[in-house]
Amino acid sequence: MWYAEAQKLRCQGLSYNKIADELGMSVKTVQSRFKRDELRGKLNIVYEDKKEYVPEDIDKYFEKMLELQEAQNKLDTKQVKASIRIDDNKPIAVAYWSDWHIGGVGVDYKAFQQDLELIRDTEGLYFIGGGDYKDNYISGTHIGGNFEQIIQPGMQDIIVQRQMEKVAEKCLALVRGCHDSWDKKQGDKDFIETLCEITNSVNLWHGGEITIKLGEQNYIWRVRHKYPGQSKINFENAMRRLIETQGPCDVAAEAHLHNEYSMHRHINGRYTILLRGGSYKVWDEHAQQMAGHKGKEGIPVVIMYPDEHRQVKFDTIEDAIVHLKALRS
C-alpha cells in the first residue's frame, strides 16, 4: 500500500530521497522497490491496495521475537545445574527413586505404596526422581503399549500428581524419563514442570548436576534417566561414560533398565558411588519378548555426613533407614 503512494509521489517528480522523507522510510527500501518493478517492466502498473511489507517490518518482527523469547525464558523452569542446601547437622539420606510407571498393568503397586510411606515418614530421608513416573502410552508411541495400561494417560497424570503431593516435602529434584518425554514430543507439554510445581523442587530436565550442601560439605550428584553407553551386561557402563563426559562427582545415578544396581569404586582419582534405580514395572510384553526380562523393584540410597566428606550407599531403602535412624538418634 505504501508503494502506491510512493508511485504517486514519483509521478510528481519527487526523488527517492524526498519520497523516503515523505513516507518515513529508508531511501534504500524505496529505491530497491522501484528498481525491482523497473526490471519487471511494471512501472506503469499501480496496485492501490496490494498488501506488502518492507525490510523494516522484518526487523521489527525480529525484535518482537527476541522480546517473546526473553519473556518465555522467564517462564521456563528447566535447568541442568542446581545447588540445594539442606539445613541439618545430622547425617541425611537421599534416595534415587525412579520408574514408577503408574498406570501400567504389570506394576507392583503395593511395593510402591510401601516405599512411598517409608520416604514420607522417615526423618532426614529425601529423594531425587529418576523419571518414568507414569506409563503414558499415548498415540504414536510403542505399538501395543496402550493395551498394557489399567488406566489411560489423563488419569495417570492425576494419580501421579497425588502421589507427589504426599511426598512433596521430601523431593529435591525431578528428572524427565523416556515415557514422560512423550508428552513433550507429541503435545509440547512438560509434565515434570507440573510435578515440580507440586513438590516445589528443581526441574532438572533430562538430567544434570546437583550440588547437595550439607553442613560444611558439598556432595556432587550427576543424575540422568538414561545416558549413552547402556549395556545390559555391564550396568555401570553408561554411568562411567557420564563421569568421563561431564566430570568427576560423588554420585552418578541412572534408571531406565528396571533393575536396581549400585557400586562404590575409584574413578578419576576419587571414590564415586554409582547408582541405578529399579522399577515397579515387573512384567511387560516388550521385556518378555526381548529375552524374558523381569523388572526388579529397588531404591538405592546414599547417606551423607555434614561434618566430614563421607557417604555410604545402600541397595535397599529398608537397610538405609535402619542406619539413618541410628545415626540421627
Tens-place pLDDT, residues 91-149: 999 999 999 999 999 999 999 999 999 999 999 999 999 999 999 988 888 887 787 88
Tens-place pLDDT, residues 287-305: 778 777 888 899 999 999 9
The runs of H, that is alpha helices, within the chain are 2-11, 16-23, 27-40, 55-74, 109-121, 153-166, 178-187, 191-199, 237-246, 285-291, 317-328
Q: Note the pLDDT of residue 35.
A: 79
Mapping DSSP onto H, E and C, the string for 25-45 reads CCHHHHHHHHHHHHHHCCCCC
Q: Which amino acid is at 197?
A: E
Tens-place pLDDT, residues 9-26: 877 878 888 888 888 888
Q: Note the pLDDT of residue 127.
A: 98
More confident residue, 43 or 17: 17
Q: Note the pLDDT of residue 129.
A: 98
- Tell me phi and psi for residue 180, to 5 degrees: -70, -30
Tens-place pLDDT, residues 201-253: 999 999 999 999 999 999 999 999 999 988 877 888 998 999 999 999 999 99
Cell numbers linked to 95: 534416595
Which residue in the block uniquely carries the three cell numbers 526423618?
123
Question: What are the Cα distances from residue 88, in Å, to 123, 277, 318?
Answer: 11, 26, 22
Q: Note the pLDDT of residue 41.
A: 63
CA distance 102 to 175: 16
Q: What is the mean pLDDT of the chain?
A: 91
Instruction: Supply the pTM of this predicted model.
Output: 0.85
45 confidence band (pLDDT: 50, 70, 90): low
Domains and CATH numbers, the chain: 2-73 (no CATH), 78-328 (3.60.21.10)
Q: Note the pLDDT of residue 43.
A: 62
- β-bridge mates for residue 254, sequence order: 276
